Chain A
Amino acid sequence: MMALSDIVGLSGMAFALAVLIVPLVAARVTGRAVLLYIVVCMLLALSPFDGLSVAGYLRGFFGDLSVASLLLLVLALRRQVSGAEAEGRMGLLALIALAALAFYPFALGIGLFDPYRLGFGHFGFLAALLLVALLAWMRQQVLIALYIALAVLAWAIGWGESNNLWDYLLDPWVAFYALGALLKRSVRLLRGAPVSAR
């Protein structure tokens, strides 16, 4: 009997693999057909091969994904299915990048204060997050509000291995991606190239 965190972790990794691979192998497929490819890909990734599935190997190397990663993957999938671009995606990426910059250096050893500690149920931290979520909700920044709410809910339920809220808010991959996306956009802005308002 697999623990819930293993089910969630393995499916999350399989989903990530599928979302990243399907546009490469089935680039011109759109609409509901994409979902079929995703399901097939996930099933393959979850099938045991020599004792461990591909998802299991990837999990060992990359760790389990945060809600931030999963949300962005869902948006990427939505884009391939319906062509719709999510509004506020850049704002979400900016928030993730900012959080990562403020968090990782100190959590990994700079100084004595460890921000990771706040994620074990610090009231002030939760209150601050609630404030940001409500502000985002009021300003119609749906993605940011949804991201925070889902991460907090996932932590409260405890669907992952981690008992720390930060592991639901961030992971190194989404942090790298967000920083990269922001850097790319900044470079384009500096060059005066047209940049979408999203």
Chain B
Amino acid sequence: MFDRRVLFGIILIAFAAAFYKAANVPAVAAFQYRPAVVANVAAARFDSRFASSRFQTQVHAASLIELKDRSLRGFWFSGSREGAADVTINSALFDPVTGEWGAEQSIASRDSTQQGLHRYIGKVGNPVPMRAADGRLWLFYVTVSLGGWAGSSITAITSTDEGVTWSEPRRLISSPFMNISTLVKAAPFLYADGTIGLPVYHEFISKFAEILRLDQSGKVIDKQRLAAGGQGTLQPVVLVRSAQQALVLTRYSGNESPHRAKMMTTVDGGAHWSAAVQSPLSNPDAALAALVLADGRLLAVLNDQQSGRDNLALMLSADGGVSWRRVAVLENETATSVQDEAACLSRVAALVKQSDARAGVSAVSLERYVDSAKAKVRAGDACSFEFSYPYLMQASGGDFHLLYTWNRVFIKHLSFNQAWLEQQETQP
């Protein structure tokens, strides 16, 4: 059928090209470590407001990034329900000077992604932004063609104008078997050579956390499994503490009791990771957020409970994650046991006013908020609250910004500074 010499020629050419490509794969690199800013503002500041601006919609999976002009750009998904075909990735701008969020806009949809990828797309979700070494803004998000979230793959779009317009989407191929089941949640980090570390997780058949390494054009060049399948480690958060050291905290969705977040460490720039061990942090199978402070201590936001997501707490660790203490309770409706509809909605109204001063101003406005929240909070005739999927960030001026899902109907934004944090630490 085939001339042997021609075949030999093909083999030679193929492998010559392959070895050349392999030789050009970036070598293992240490982390890029930039210590956080230490602010010197004496007055404690703590503000709360809603970031999302649409009513009668479901929102989830918020994330945030600082722009070059110090404003913030938030992302989340919004639609009739999680996983619906009408869900879009939305974005809005926050002006730290005025303390106000602009109206949200859809920047990616099932349809736009399908057109750009030339393949069928069923739903989109989980946006995560990143600033690349060349200054471009990247947005990673999850797309599903078949099945539930376990059938996800990661898609990326880029922007050269700080998120006003975005490029055509392009998929990250990170898994064999139809490239399914890689998802993002937490912020990416950079290696010293400008390549990107994207914390991801796998959910099909087996659950485990991974790190993808991408080159500067977004191609996947390596992948590291952080825990063996079956250990229930999801949604890893990578905390870079120096050029060589990092800690990963993950959500735990296994059967061990008590339910605790898992953690792994590296001391060689991520070349090798320790085995996953239990951290002292409670984890009711929910996402958590964390970052490294200027002084090296760790700050985390999570549901500090064994089940449910109606408590959201701020935790601090001074020993690299070995021990943690709670410094503030941001939300706590665990004790709320109200069955009566009127009493429940009254509680919702109180929480709305507490969350956003402007929302409670006019009676009409307040009613719109409560009405939006009603479907979720009053589901099953109960009165249950959810504060989940936190995303924590420290801006270049030193202020902290936290976005999280407020009962699945609004994205709530808390901002506070170092002085406020210190104040919380000294309180019993």
Residues of A within 8 A of B (CB): 2-3, 6, 9-10, 51-52, 56-57, 59-63, 86-87, 103-104, 107-114, 116-117, 120-123, 126, 129-130, 133-134, 137, 140, 142, 145-146, 148-150, 152-153, 155-157, 160-167, 170-172
The digit string for B170-203, where 1 denotes a CB below 8 A from any CB of A, is 1101011111000000000000000000000010
- Complex alpha-carbon distance, A114 and B223, angstroms: 9
Q: Is the CB of A146 within 8 A of B145?
A: no
Pick from B13, B178, B224 the residue with the most CB of A within 10 Å. B178
The digit string for B104-124, where 1 denotes a CB below 8 A from any CB of A, is 000000010011011111100
Minimum C-beta distance from A13 to chain B (A)? 9
Whether B11 sits at the interface, judged by CB under 8 Å, is yes
Q: Is the CB of B178 within 8 A of A62?
A: yes
Whether B397 sits at the interface, judged by CB under 8 Å, is no
Q: Is the CB of B225 within 8 A of A112?
A: yes
Q: Which residues of B contact A3 (CB under 8 A)?
A: 170
Q: Give B207-237 interface residues, CB cut-off 8 Å to A.
A: 207-208, 219-225, 227-230
Q: Which residues of A contact B230 (CB under 8 A)?
A: 109
Q: Which residues of A contact B1 (CB under 8 A)?
A: 86-87, 142
Partner of B22, one of A52, A56, A123, A153: A123
Q: Which residues of B contact A114 (CB under 8 A)?
A: 223-225
With an 8 Å Cβ cutoff, the count of chain B residues facing the other chain is 53
Whether B294 sits at the interface, judged by CB under 8 Å, is no
Whether B205 sits at the interface, judged by CB under 8 Å, is yes
Q: Is the CB of B120 within 8 A of A142?
A: no
Q: Is the CB of B223 within 8 A of A120?
A: yes
- Complex alpha-carbon distance, A148 and B306, angstroms: 51
Q: Is the CB of B118 within 8 A of A2?
A: yes
Residues of B within 8 A of A (CB): 1-2, 4, 7-8, 10-11, 13-15, 17-22, 25, 111, 114-115, 117-122, 145-146, 170-171, 173, 175-179, 202, 204-208, 219-225, 227-230
Q: Is the CB of B146 within 8 A of A152?
A: no
Minimum C-beta distance from A77 to chain B (A)? 14
Partner of B229, one of A61, A108, A116: A108
Partner of B176, one of A126, A133, A166: A166
- Complex alpha-carbon distance, A140 and B14, angstroms: 18
Minimum C-beta distance from B15 to chain A (A)? 5
Question: Provided the pairs A107-B176, A109-B202 are in contact, do residues A120 and B118 lie with their beta carbons within 8 angstroms?
Answer: no
- Complex alpha-carbon distance, A122 and B204, angstroms: 26
